[in-house]
Chains A and B, each alone.
Chain A
Amino acid sequence: MPGALLSVSGLVTHLGSPVRPVKAVDGVDFEIHEGETFALLGESGCGKSITALSLMRLLPASGRIVSGSIRFDAQELLGLSEARMRAVRGGGMTMIFQEPMTSLNPVLSIGRQIAEALRAHQGETGAAASAHVQELLQAVRMPDPAKRAGEYPHQLSGGMKQRVMIAMALAGRPKLLIADEPTTALDVTVQSQVLDLIRQLQRQRGMAVLLITHDLGVVAEMADRLVVMYAGEIVECAGRKQFFRDPRHPYSRALLDSLPGLGNRKQPLRAIGGFVPSLQDEFIGCRFFPRCERALSVCERQAPVWFTEAGHRVLCHLYTDEAERPAAGTPGAATATPVESEAGTGPPLLEVRRLEVHFPIQAGLLKRTVGHVRAVDGVDLDIPAARTLALVGESGCGKTTVGKSILQLITPTEGSVRFDGVRLNTLPRSQLRRRRAELQIIFQDPYSSMNPRMLVGDIIAEGISALIPDETRQRRRQRIENLLNEVGLPADSAQRYPHEFSGGQRQRICIARALAVEPKLIICDEPTSALDVSVQAQILNLLQALQQQLSISYLFITHNMSVVSYLADDIAVMYLGRIVEQGPVNEVLLRPRHPYTEALLSAVPVLDGDAGREVIRLQGDAPSPSSPPPGCYFHPRCPRRFEACGERYPARTEIGDGHHVHCHLHADSTSACD
């Protein structure tokens, strides 16, 4: 097609040994036009990053492009000599990566790193280059560019590093910017800044963007067109509106359905069962067939072919076969009333008062303490039995420390943690050990949360043998079997090692380990943020079901607003070691009072991106908890600050219904700003 800036056809990329290669990209075709934003959507391991690296010809040493064609700017890239390919890299198309933390050279100043790209592609050196560097830094809205150019990557926050990456990418005036999960490692408020920046630069410079992401929300906000990738191939290709109005491939539909949110609150989510097949296998039929809810008999036998209708292409038998075509329409979302648990009336199970955790900063000859990192700085929390409290905040706000100090894995500096009326943080070690069964924890990273050297059965039995040592071997084995059953794993899992399981399954094992000692409260520390959405749905369903069966309370620590709105009964919003707003979920989500909560909510990308909503953009990054700003901690970034904010920390204001907020805007004594 004329006008296509990039056209990829039949791209096949293999990784690993030639004998049994991982077919990471297995026949991919797409086109990107000048100036458009094209999204490549897929879950982890579907081959989307390898596709991008193939375009740049920057594959890791074990990878090779087997066949296909990549035409960029009327030039076939695959036949190009390495020297001419270098001119394309950085000049024609550039790439920014997921991990801004490690993607910059730590020992070169950022100015030099940008200047390097300028020299390579514009031939600029000396004063012209340094002027241009500052111009670029200005273009990516880096505050104080002249000073920043001389700084080193470790002096910048994650968001700023990603801006530097973008500035570096712009240096060669590329026609195509490949952004590989550019905001996945960033906080949601910073994510919205960076996405905004990319969108704006693209408009200014007429650049095309290939956005690679797993986040449907980001796609909805950014993309003009998108393709969905599954197991090394593209299964659907559509315009954004078409796609979100009428996702055709059963996989796309399932993805959309598995998103949690206020709309499907507390109902079972439509999770996708099974796993992504191994890309080392040979496929005969449709690759999604084993997990597809609407599979036909032909799907197993025969690979599907493309079906195109009004530019909306889908690779599925449902549309090409004689079988009846499914009716277009919104995915079937049941509209049963959500099961709301009763507001906690009884005495709280967990009662945290003025919890403080300060980590000393030591320096000097005798390790004198010269200051403190106030990781947690006076937190009050109550969790009644069988309820879920979500603790929400961005990275570094101290939410994980709250969780660990409740468990006494970190000794609190100040304050009290009462569980079932017993104050935990003054209990002697031996008594504390006995109470440990009642509080358990599930971690974020399913890979580091289990000892890779132990059998799953032994992992689950660990708590039983430590806390209930006099149980017979026979009964213990029975219990492990029951627990595995309860979390939806086969009984023979006990005899296997953690590495044989996928991320979602590992998280189930972790849940079983926690359940083994029959806890009353489980602290869930971002249990789904390392998982794909379809797997996240499975875990959320499981947690939900367990709460209903066993009346467990959850302290759900997360940064993901949609999970919060789906699962939580109450919300506490944390900023820089303190809770700024707390209340029942509907109150806080629908009528947020604190400007930070408002900003946090508005920064979350939403699927119906057209509904001209206003996004509150926060300036800059959160300050360091070792030197919080005077007055309200949030005021330097607050769009609605006034004089009082810089003077003193706002007191607690009751809004009613258990909803309270720390903000001068709502303080009883102060009238709201004029």
Chain B
Amino acid sequence: MPVLFWTDALIFLLLALTIAFVFYARRYEHLRAPWRQVGRSGVAMGSMVVLGFFLSVTILDSLHFRPPLQSAGLDQTGRYSTEILSVFDWVVTPIRERDEKSYSAPFAAYLYAKETVELPNGRKDRRYPRLKYGAAHLADPERERSADIISTGVWGLLKGMVLCLAVYALIVFTVARRTRASVTVTFGRINTGDTVLRWRPMLLTLGVLVLLTTTAAELAVKYHILGTDKVGEDVFYQTLKSIRTGLMIGTLTTLVMLPLAIVLGIMAGYFRGWVDDVIQYLYTTLNSIPSVLLIAAAVLILQVYLDNHADEFSSVAERADLRLLFLCLILGLTSWTGLCRYLRGESLKLREIDFIQAANALGVRHLTIITRHILPNVLHIVLITVVLDFSGLVLAEAVLSYVQIGVDPTMNSWGNMINSARLEMAREPIVWWSLLAAFVLMFTLVLAANLFADAVRDAFDPRLRQQ
């Protein structure tokens, strides 16, 4: 039975809006040309592939459903489990369901801490117990483990290479079809980078991603490749699940912020007078509260509300989702002021520009002037802001969750992972894998987003284009 969370609905709405915008942009040369410039930037295209990978995980992880109960007999058809899963969960079932007892290091066969185990002969001994799932297939982990890891990894790599070649061939054929050039010519063009889109860096990134995925998939079935956490949950699974949280914060916040910033900013700049005064007062006031504190205050209030209305939610997941949504809302409310002020300034300048004066002289109505003349001429600013803000928001999620004013503690997020791992910092030897897992994925996402944002800004900012 499908389940639609609020954030799921909104992310699909955002996706639909993005697709609509792409179709809109294709019709206008002034929007197409900068994107073509982005397309020529190898770094940007490589980053885009990475972002696309994260986005697909998010989308898979946003298709929620309740699995049917299997244990029951035939008469129980139509009954569903109370547990809500996503398609992504279903795909990674093998790593999701293999909880250990507690901490274990990456690729470990034993738990991280000694436990008292009852030996077959009835004596008790403190030793490292074997893991229930990690490396469970090995009879003698001490001897066989390294060889098994390597052979499994190589097997994964090989599978990946086959997949890579298939993708490569598919893309070459598609491009050849579309450009109506022969396959060999297209092959040469793509390899020398002589194409409108820079295929080479995209294919390279895609290849690396595919190889990593297949290898990891192959290994993850047999081992906990990033270890397990305190309650024995697979860290690799956690960090993958955190992708959705990070991306949600980065994108849904934008959805909240944009309408406010655009409508108010343009109105303030275009109408001036008392409208301007009111809007300026509004954003100066909001801006004067340090944003962390405003978020903290709002989240505290939300927390109290959720505590007192706990019975209104049917599941923990639903509650966590609502908290995520509110966090996006609050972040949006604190971050629209910057863009609003910028748009106000632009609109002030634009309203004095000749073509808007001419439209006035032609008797064009205000609403038409705003939608036809002002909005298209500030759209690039909006776009630049959105892509630049994204990485900041992903980073902010980690910090806020760390301070415990972020997402729900039950939700998988990099901030929560760091927060729980930090408590083990003092442990000797240190439990480092949760931190590493969160670091690697977060860094990859943020770096890709930053590089992509830079390329978009370079392409769309007219000031930079003149240089």
A404 to B361, CA, bound (A): 9
Say yes or no: is A576 at the interface (Cβ < 8 Å to chain B). Answer: no
Known: A452-B30, A453-B377, A454-B372. A409 touches B362 (CB 8 A): no
Interface string of B355-389 (1 = CB under 8 A from A): 10111111111001000110011000000000000
Q: Which parts of A434-468 form the interface with B (CB within 8 Å)?
A: 434, 436-437, 439-441, 443-445, 448-454, 459, 462-463, 466-467
A449 to B362, CA, bound (A): 13
Chain A residues near B373 (CB, 8 Å)? 451
Say yes or no: is A497 at the interface (Cβ < 8 Å to chain B). Answer: yes
CB closest residue in chain A, given B355:
A451
A433 and B376: CB pair below 8 A? no
Q: Which of B28, B363, B372, B376 contacts A467 (CB 8 A)?
A: B363
Say yes or no: is B354 at the interface (Cβ < 8 Å to chain A). Answer: yes
Chain A residues near B376 (CB, 8 Å)? 451, 453-454
CB closest residue in chain A, given B30:
A453
Known: A445-B354, A453-B30. A466 touches B363 (CB 8 A): yes
Q: How far is the CB of B379 from chain A (nearest CB, A)?
A: 8
Q: Which parts of B287-311 form the interface with A (CB within 8 Å)?
A: none
CB closest residue in chain B, given A497:
B29
Chain B residues near A467 (CB, 8 Å)? 362-363
B30 and A497: CB pair below 8 A? yes
Known: A448-B354, A450-B355, A451-B377. A409 touches B361 (CB 8 A): yes
A466 and B368: CB pair below 8 A? yes
Q: How far is the CB of B290 from chain A (nearest CB, A)?
A: 27
Chain B residues near A443 (CB, 8 Å)? 354, 357-358
Say yes or no: is A517 at the interface (Cβ < 8 Å to chain B). Answer: yes
Q: How far is the CB of A369 from chain B (nearest CB, A)?
A: 15
Say yes or no: is B430 at the interface (Cβ < 8 Å to chain A). Answer: no
A102 to B372, CA, bound (A): 33
Chain A residues near B377 (CB, 8 Å)? 451-453
A61 to B467, CA, bound (A): 9
CB closest residue in chain A, given B462:
A452
Say yes or no: is B464 at the interface (Cβ < 8 Å to chain A). Answer: no
Say yes or no: is B426 at the interface (Cβ < 8 Å to chain A). Answer: no
A459 to B360, CA, bound (A): 13
A68 to B30, CA, bound (A): 39
A479 to B352, CA, bound (A): 29
Chain B residues near A555 (CB, 8 Å)? none
Known: A451-B376, A451-B377, A453-B377. A517 touches B354 (CB 8 A): no
Q: How far is the CB of A425 from chain B (nearest CB, A)?
A: 15
Q: Which parts of B135-152 form the interface with A (CB within 8 Å)?
A: none
Chain A residues near B30 (CB, 8 Å)? 452-453, 497
Interface string of A40-68 (1 = CB under 8 A from B): 00000000000000000000010000000
Q: Which parts of B328-370 form the interface with A (CB within 8 Å)?
A: 353-355, 357-365, 368
Q: Which parts of B117-136 form the interface with A (CB within 8 Å)?
A: none
Interface string of A498-524 (1 = CB under 8 A from B): 000000000000100100010000000
Interface string of B265-286 (1 = CB under 8 A from A): 0000000000000000000000
B355 and A448: CB pair below 8 A? yes
Chain B residues near A389 (CB, 8 Å)? none
A219 to B376, CA, bound (A): 44
Instruction: Give the interface SS of chain B, mostly helix, strand, loop or mixed.
Output: helix
A459 to B368, CA, bound (A): 13
Say yes or no: is A407 at the interface (Cβ < 8 Å to chain B). Answer: yes
Q: Which parts of B416-467 form the interface with A (CB within 8 Å)?
A: 467
Known: A448-B355, A450-B355, A451-B376. A441 touches B28 (CB 8 A): no
Q: Which parts of B17-50 form the interface with A (CB within 8 Å)?
A: 28-30
A510 to B355, CA, bound (A): 9
A448 to B373, CA, bound (A): 12
Known: A451-B373, A454-B372. A463 touches B355 (CB 8 A): no
B363 and A449: CB pair below 8 A? no
Chain B residues near A449 (CB, 8 Å)? 354-355, 358
CB closest residue in chain B, given A442:
B358
B357 and A439: CB pair below 8 A? no
Residue of B364, B377, B467 contacting most chain A CB atoms (<10 Å): B364
A535 to B467, CA, bound (A): 28
A463 and B362: CB pair below 8 A? yes
A433 and B363: CB pair below 8 A? yes
Residue of B29, B355, B376 contacting most chain A CB atoms (<10 Å): B355
A517 and B28: CB pair below 8 A? no
Q: How far is the CB of A19 from chain B (nearest CB, A)?
A: 12
Interface string of A277-314 (1 = CB under 8 A from B): 00000000000000000000000000000000000000
B353 and A448: CB pair below 8 A? yes
Chain B residues near A454 (CB, 8 Å)? 372, 376
A515 to B368, CA, bound (A): 21
Q: Which of B28, B359, B360, B365 contacts A453 (CB 8 A)?
A: B28
Q: How far is the CB of B361 from chain A (nearest CB, A)?
A: 5
CB closest residue in chain A, given B353:
A448
Chain A residues near B360 (CB, 8 Å)? 409
B355 and A517: CB pair below 8 A? no
Q: Which parts of B371-410 form the interface with A (CB within 8 Å)?
A: 372-373, 376-377
A441 to B357, CA, bound (A): 9
A450 to B354, CA, bound (A): 7
CB closest residue in chain B, given A433:
B363
Chain B residues near A452 (CB, 8 Å)? 30, 377
CB closest residue in chain B, given A499:
B30
Q: Which parts of A396-420 form the interface with B (CB within 8 Å)?
A: 404, 407, 409
Q: How far is the CB of A294 from chain B (nearest CB, A)?
A: 38
A441 and B361: CB pair below 8 A? yes
A409 to B361, CA, bound (A): 7
CB closest residue in chain A, given B357:
A409
Chain B residues near A409 (CB, 8 Å)? 357, 360-361
Chain A residues near B361 (CB, 8 Å)? 407, 409, 436, 439-441
Chain B residues near A440 (CB, 8 Å)? 361-362
A553 to B365, CA, bound (A): 26
A433 to B372, CA, bound (A): 18
A433 to B366, CA, bound (A): 12
A434 to B363, CA, bound (A): 7
Residue of B29, B30, B361 contacting most chain A CB atoms (<10 Å): B361
B357 and A466: CB pair below 8 A? no
Q: How far is the CB of A257 from chain B (nearest CB, A)?
A: 31
A409 to B357, CA, bound (A): 7
CB-defined A-B contacts under 8 Å, sample of 12: A440-B361, A440-B362, A443-B357, A449-B355, A451-B372, A452-B30, A453-B30, A454-B376, A462-B359, A466-B364, A513-B358, A513-B362
8 pairs of A and B residues whose beta carbons are closest in the complex: A463-B362, A449-B354, A436-B363, A453-B376, A443-B354, A433-B363, A466-B364, A448-B354
Knowing that A407-B361, A409-B360, A453-B377 touch, tell me 8 more A-B residue pairs with CB under 8 angstroms.
A436-B362, A439-B361, A448-B355, A454-B376, A462-B359, A462-B362, A462-B364, A467-B362
Give B contacts to A, CB under 8 Å. Answer: 28-30, 353-355, 357-365, 368, 372-373, 376-377, 467
